[in-house]
Structure 1
């Protein structure tokens, strides 16, 4: 089994590695203070385990508040990327003294491998005191390795030109693509009424030096670039973002109840540096049902994410697809962009349940269903591809509801893998 990363977290799948590989192994607690919203004395997390191992017999201090910051070393090895070493940090904090202010979350990671694959990112989702403003954004700088499985949802080839067959790639052949990548995205939302935000921002995605073992135009990306007028070795997608967001989630790391909904339009424009003009609509809806008053962490969670090209052309490696949501976590069972099209939709359902009385261990089962169009006439919602699996959760930081998520998922075409994340997929 080879190892594959689902950015910005970790997945181990039986395919060619993606843009980076990050393995979370243990946490180092910091001294920064964080005020929990509930009595956590009966819960047990990694910090309690660390205390019991390093200081056996020492009782927990009820006045000591766990940190909102976790630091995770990234150490791994893979034949494609070599040996990797790096570090990742996740921070959760409530800004100001208003208990109704939503939690802010930020994360960063830096890693390098012996085969010169480099990845660095910073992302944040910040709510100012009183939820007056919400700032969302990220910066990514990387030298990457990405797999490509062709366009569409993996249906059988129905006849057409040789170029159509190459683009559709019904055999699911994998093409490894190397490139240098830069992304900057920032959105600012303003609270206009209770739980409702409107926002705007910008996004710049630049990819250069795109190469692979097969550098001919007789590849899915090569055919797509010729048809849509993109250069073969570089592109830029630069545009404006306009969004509406509604949220009642009780916690962004692991929600027990509430709704998160976001709808946005991205308008790429050549006059600000985009290779092509385009307009895309993106929707994100999540609903959480707590199934027990005594065990609120027993949850049924629903997620639907979609992206739809309204007009223009989008670069091949920027097409919406598997794990192309904001956190790169959709479609467990498949690697990043395993399925993709100009129109794409993913629906997921997950059951979360406690295992141990002290909440240290819990479990999940999940299913997902992806659909996409292609350039041979397949329409969105015409063909679906399933994924399913189960996982274990280890309570990482009870003050912030941060947990270590270990999932094993299965898909079609022999796709399956182990996915390791901090926090839930959605």
Structure 2
């Protein structure tokens, strides 16, 4: 708890300085049209169950590429951080709308020199082990403020390049288009794996990949996607109303760089239900997504996994990739509310989430086991015009998992 207090004090001590950078944008008169980019940088100090203590900088970017009366604001978030687990994490994610929302461009670019434990597939008892024989359980890595022993980690380099182009269909909020998706895992070093010990120490990553005839040192998925997107949100960074629904079917053939040929389906829904006409920030938000391998074999780290959504915000309370399988379904609900009577600077949230994953190789069916989590959060609006929020959450999950999460913009 001492670490939580220190992190919280440092984080919110920064708000006075950060707020100065947002004031110029907030002062733009209502109805005016500014072509500039609003940039909100924040230094990061946080704790995460996978990463340990995190240091770095995160910036939110918002701009409009047309008349604000008929063009949605574009939003991007970039980050560069280093952790006490010797991990380098960088990313740039963007959701851009061209003039009159004629096109919607989605970008996800990441490079990581990182590590994480690799659990058994599916949800349920099998997912609580780090080795195939059930030993090396996860008791040492549920405390986000204690460095995970390096012998339990799998180190790797990760590169992602996603770019999707969506054309608006007539005068609707429906967008249709194509995308290219590349995920590369390389320099994999599985510390727990020991093929010379007696008995052998076999990790779930090694067992799964070798059973599929896939390398355990490096692999990639490279594919083209077909996409349908409906987006009626009033703001992509922090919606007060509207709906979001997406279907993405990705085909990953070997001839364009995939290690294996396969297809993967992503389906997603987000809804925002206002509880007060006078205070639009008082609302219930709902998030549901499903990720499914629809054909072929997928390398272990490319399988659907908790926390590997586009914004990496699902599963607050758990480590990245804590639950993984050929099929994964996630649902979350969050109550968002203002903490001031007449202003929207400060807000709070209460959230609950649930995840279920399958393992076809081990006959673990989807929904046979469900893992729950919940938590609370504090919000500070850095830029009221762009609705850029600084988010501070703490979550609790099953098996003692817990975590402190700092970010920009809402989780969904």
What TM-score results when the alignment is normalised by the length of structure 1?
0.81
Cα shift at 1:116:
5.2
Deviations 1:330-350 (A, max 9, x none): 111111111110100001111
C-alpha distance 229-37 of structure 1, shift in aligned 2 (>3 A): farther
* Match among 346, 356, 361 for residue 361 of structure 1: 346
Report the Cα offset of residue 265 of structure 1.
Answer: 0.4
Query: Is the contact made by 1:305 and 1:325 (CA closer than 8 Å) also made in structure 2?
Result: no
CA deviation profile, 1:196-216 (whole Å, cap 9, x unmatched):
000111111111111132233
Q: 2:21 aligns with which of 22, 29, 35?
A: 29
2:157 matches 1:183:
no
Write out aligned runs for 1:207-356 (5 A).
207-216=185-194, 218-356=202-340
2:199 maps to which residue? Answer: none
The CA deviation string for residues 381-425 of structure 1, in whole angstroms up to 9 with x for no partner, is: 222111111111112111111111111111101101111111111
Mapped pair 1:382 → 2:352: no
Query: What secondary structure is seen at the aligned counterpart in 2 of 1:399?
Result: coil
Structure 1 residue 38, shift from structure 2 partner: 6.2
Give secondary structure in 1 for the equivalent of 2:259.
coil
Deviation at 1:129? 0.5
Q: Partners of 1:319 and 1:182 in 2: how far apart?
A: 15
Instruction: Judge which range, 215-224 or 67-76, deviates more.
Output: 67-76
What displacement does 1:119 show?
2.5
Q: Where does structure 1 lack aligned partners over 5 or more consecutive residues?
A: 4-11, 13-22, 40-61, 158-162
Secondary structure of 1:368's partner?
Answer: strand
Question: Secondary structure at 2:210's aligned position in 1?
Answer: helix
Per-residue deviation at 1:376?
Answer: 2.3
Q: CA RMSD in A?
A: 3.3
Whole-Å separation in 2 of the counterparts to 1:99 and 1:284: 27
Q: Is 1:421 aligned with 2:407?
A: yes
Q: 1:412 to 1:164 in 2, by over 3 A?
A: closer
In proportion to residue count, which structure has more helix? 2
- 1:53 aligned partner: none
SS at match of 2:70: coil
Specify the SS of the correspondent of 2:153: strand
Q: In the alignment, is the contact (CA less than 8 A) between 1:72 and 1:87 conserved in 2?
A: yes
Distance 1:231 1:110, change over 3 A: same
How far off its partner does 1:97 sit?
1.5
For structure 2, list consecutive stretches of 5 or more residues without a partner in the other structure: 142-151, 196-201
Per-residue displacement from partner, 1:338-392 (whole Å, max 9, x unpaired)?
A: 1110100001111111111222211111111111111322211222111111111
Instruction: Provide the C-alpha distance between the structure 2 equivalents of 1:75 and 1:208, rounded to a whole number of angstroms.
Output: 28
Match of 2:70 in 1: 100
> Residue 39 of structure 2 corresponds to which residue in structure 1?
69
Match for residue 166 of structure 1 among 110, 126, 132? 132
Give the TM-score normalised by structure 2: 0.83
Is 2:375 aligned against 1:395? no
Partner of 1:57: none
1:107–1:309 Cα change, 3 Å: same
1:48-197 matches, cutoff 5 A: 68-75=38-45, 85-112=55-82, 117-155=87-125, 166=132, 171-172=137-138, 175-193=152-170, 194-197=172-175
Whole-angstrom distance in 2 between the partners of 1:250 and 1:76: 30
SS in 1 for 2:100: helix
Displacement, 1:78? Answer: 9.6
Number of aligned pairs? 381
